[in-house]
Structure 1
Amino acid sequence: MVIVFLLVTVSVLVAGNWYLWRRLFRDTTRAPGAVRRAGAALIAGGWLLTVGALVAERAGAPFWLQRTLAWPGFLWLALSMYLLLALLAGEAVRPLLRRHLERRDRARTPTEAQVREPEPIPAGAPPKEPEAAETPDEPEGTEGTGSTEGTRPSAPAGPSRRLFVSRVVAGAAAAAAVGTVGYGSYGVLRGPRVKRVTVPLAKLPRGAHGFRIAVVSDIHLGPVLGRGFAQKVVDTINSTQPDLIAVVGDLVDGSVKDLGPAAAPLAQLKARHGAYFVTGNHEYFSGAEQWVEEVRRLGLRPLENDRTELPFFDLAGVNDVAGEDEGQGPDFGKALGDRDTARACVLLAHQPVQIHDAVEHGVDLQLSGHTHGGQLWPGSLLASAANPTVAGLERYGDTQLYVSRGAGAWGPPTRVGAPSDITVVELASRQA
């Protein structure tokens, strides 16, 4: 099955990139030449950089090499995706544009009924010089063929109608793709915006009404997003003056050795009841044990299948399901098994799929991330197929689930249709 999957994936990639080359370079040029060869080199080189960036990150290559490959490689990944989508949308435009040009050309060509009889020449008047007949546009596919017997000579050779349409569609697709990726990257690099959500909890006491939890997930510090980005996230969180901070996984994409300096601003997080951390799946690709110790050193409290009793409710956290491969998976029994069920309980769990275990253990609210809200539209469609909730607040029985879109981005530093956020969850007591 793995071999079949790889063959299908490679076939789809090859077909997609051949289509890109054809529409962007072959159909927009008259004959084979330097432009077509440069197009093939651009597409192949872009994918080599993308694959190189992915392999370098997972293989633990020198960090300077990861950073060198990451920017062009990951941006090409996003750009090629939106080029493909734009060109596919352009297929619907191509026949409409051709028909428009055909009607315009017919309207410009004089019909027999429009040809006037020559006016009679008065006696003694000098003969009138014949006017040069206007030549209609050359039909598609006949440029450079010259005149044929019984027809008027063609107009000077220019781009054929088909070539013109191909160039217009390719240019529009390229502009749309570059604009989309550019704006989506600006949105990420600018930093996440604050989102506020009110969540009523039946068991929450009156004294906790208005308790604010700043939820941040999926910061993804790595070869692209570094210390400057971490500082923006920390400053944004602190500006909300939360009562508690919850970092719900996927903090990093790399080792403590490479990214320790990038994560250093986390030591500046400030909240009356402290900052807490649970692992995400990417921590287990990056040395989870080392990162748990590093965030503890920075002043955050890791909740590894653990719970703490705050003055008004219980706060619990479970490891990510990716930890199962290392014997460090989620243990809901350990985190929640012996608690007082009369107290409200808030659970930190990276992946929304963990909601089903949370329901079984009587959790009132689960805070998660992982999905990025789809990150790159139409990725939200795939995310919704793999997760019970992609973003926002939903109820599952007596348990509510809130999923953040995350603060950063994985792979391309780009978001389209899924803006990054830091969410301030304000708890509301029904007794207030």
Structure 2
Amino acid sequence: MAVARPGAEDGPAPAPGPEAEDGRERRSSLRRRLGGTVVFLVLALLFVLPWWTLFASGVDWPFPVFLAGTVGFACWLVSFPFLMVAGHGHRRADRAARVADSTLGMVWVLFTWSVLGGLVHLVLIGLDAGGAHRARIVAAAVAVVSAGLLAWGHHEAMRVPRVKRLDVRVPRLGAGLDGTRVVVLADTHFGPIDRAGWSARVAEAVNGLDADVVVHAGDIADGTPLQRREQSAPLGTIRSRLAKVYVTGNHEYFGEAQGWLDRMAELGWEPLHNRHVVVERGGDLLVLAGVDDVTAESSGLAGHRANLLGALAGADPDLPVLLVAHQPKYVAQAASAGIDLQISGHTHGGQIWPFHYLVRIDQPVVHGLSRHGVRTLLYTSRGAGFWGPPFRVFAPSEISLLTLRSGTAGTDRDDR
């Protein structure tokens, strides 16, 4: 006897009518216009405030100086969106990306110090200090400080990261695993600026740390494995005694995430694509687990999502677990599952001050060692490279050396 399915007698649902289609189109068009308007207003604010501070806030420069500054900022503002689209859109033109990314970093620093300069200007007015040249003094200070920070920040971004050393005490760690050396790389972001030489020097630095385990916590590159093949090649020279493991970051899902998993396997790394491996030292075992980035599921790539249950499937629940998850905010799931230590990146420590305040809106931690729940420790790396703007201001890059210790407390010791 046939069983009637609910609604089956009614046949297929009717297709939406022309009015519904038109309504969806109008709402979609309105969202695009509103989004475009917001982006334009933000860009205008980022560019206009520095222009006002440097050239129009009562500084009374000679007209040729004012005109040159105004034309320069106007050209900067108008060209920026086109350069971003050319550099990071379908064309992926590296030269355009380099100019656009540098512009973004420069204008952010100028904007930040223009805001601070404006506050100083108000204080000077209140104190009746500086006299007729008050605005010029503030403008010159903003220009000098911004230029100095950009020069220093570029040097910081392009150098080989310093090593940050920490002892991390994991209560469930067996005595044989005491002293296990875990080297953390994150956010190498191989991209439009060719850093193949930098990559080779980073690999040499990692090899000098005598690692038992090396972790790459994601955001390996901006671009495809083919585009960044030369820059990623030195990762194949990195050595470890027990394992080299890698998980995807959110930027892999802007390009070819599965391609990067395959590329890292080709370079001798163990891709932890929602899976785990078990390593042994001194007769004791440690589970090294990894999950895809939290953005993986929305990418639409089949089989990609953050799946902690899948990553731990078959693992002995009595063994300590080191989980690699790109974004620190995954620690909520890790703590619920009783993970011992999560290693993450993603934040860059804010990369360019004071951006770390915005990072804290999205992430529970910006950098360093923190405790979550009863058992779980989280280590968040500032990352080795940089995204976009080739600058790091008050957010130094790092290669992290975590020495795992048996015990009951986590200690953050920073030896630079």
**Global fold match (TM > 0.5):** yes
Written as runs of structure 1 = structure 2, the 5 A alignment for 1:7-406 is: 7-26=37-56, 27-29=58-60, 33-48=63-78, 50-61=80-91, 65-66=93-94, 68-94=95-121, 97=124, 99-101=128-130, 161=132, 164-311=133-280, 312-325=285-298, 326-327=301-302, 328-397=304-373, 398-406=375-383
1:387 and 1:225, CA in 2 relative to 1: closer, same or farther beyond 3 A?
A: farther
2:391 maps to which of 414, 419, 422 = 414
| Contact 2:215 2:244 survives alignment (8 Å) | yes
Aligned partner of 1:74: which letter? D
Q: 1:97 to 1:335 in 2, by over 3 A?
A: closer
Q: What residue ranges of structure 1 are gaps of 5+ in the alignment?
A: 103-160
Secondary structure in 2 matching 1:254 = coil
> Identity over aligned residues, as a percent?
34
Distance 2:404 2:130 in 1: 61
Check whether the contact 2:243–2:279 (CA below 8 A) recurs between aligned residues: no
In the aligned structure 2, how far is the partner of 1:241 from the partner of 1:46?
A: 47
What TM-score do you get using the length of structure 1 for normalisation?
0.80
SS state at 1:256 partner: coil
- The 3-state SS of whatever aligns with 1:415 is coil
| 8 Å Cα contact 1:49-1:72 kept in structure 2 | no
Contact 1:46 1:72 in 2 (8 A): no
Report the TM-score when normalising by structure 2: 0.83
Maintained 8 Å contact 2:53/2:118:
no
Letter of the structure 1 residue corresponding to residue 53 of structure 2: R
Q: 1:34 to 1:52 in 2, by over 3 A?
A: same
Find the residue that maps to 1:394 and give its secondary structure. Answer: strand
CA distance in structure 1 between the aligned counterparts of 2:205 and 2:77, rounded to whole angstroms: 35
Q: Which runs of 5+ in 2 are unaligned?
A: 1-30, 409-416
In the TM superposition, residue 180 of structure 1 has moved relative to its aligned partner by 0.8
Show CA shifts across 1:109-168 (max 9, x none): xxxxxxxxxxxxxxxxxxxxxxxxxxxxxxxxxxxxxxxxxxxxxxxxxxxx2xx32222
Relative to structure 2, which stretch is displaced further, 80-89 or 292-301?
Answer: 80-89
**1:360 to partner: Cα distance:** 2.4
Alignment match, 1:132: none
Q: Alpha-carbon deviation of 1:7?
A: 2.2
Q: CA RMSD in A?
A: 2.0
CA distance in structure 2 between the aligned counterparts of 1:335 and 1:324, rounded to whole angstroms: 15
Is residue 424 of structure 1 aligned with residue 397 of structure 2? no
CA deviation after TM superposition for structure 1 residue 225, in Å: 4.9
For the residue of structure 2 that corresponds to 1:378, the secondary structure is coil
Aligned partners of 2:49 and 2:149: how far apart in 1?
Answer: 20
The amino acid that maps onto 2:210 is: Q
Pairwise CA distance, 1:422? 0.8
- In the alignment of these two chains, the number of paired residues is 367
Once the two structures are superposed, what CA deviation does each residue of 1:97-120 show, in whole Å capped at 9, x if it has no partner? Answer: 562355xxxxxxxxxxxxxxxxxx
Distance 1:172 1:86 in 2: 9
Once residues 238 and 338 of structure 2 are traced to their aligned partners in structure 1, the CA distance between those partners, rounded to angstroms, is: 30
1:187–1:329 Cα change, 3 Å = same
The Cα shift of 1:275 comes to: 1.2
**Helix, strand or coil at the partner of 2:401:** strand
SS of the residue 1:393 aligns to: strand
Q: Distance in 2 between matches of 1:215 and 1:225?
A: 22
- Aligned partner of 2:388: which letter? G
Instruction: Give the direction of change, closer, same or farther, for the CA distance of 1:30–1:45 in structure 2 (3 Å limit).
Output: closer
Q: 1:364 touches 1:400 (CA, 8 Å); kept in 2?
A: yes
Q: Is the Cα contact below 8 Å between 2:275 and 2:313 reproduced in 1?
A: no
Structure 1 segments (4+ residues) deviating >4 Å: 95-98
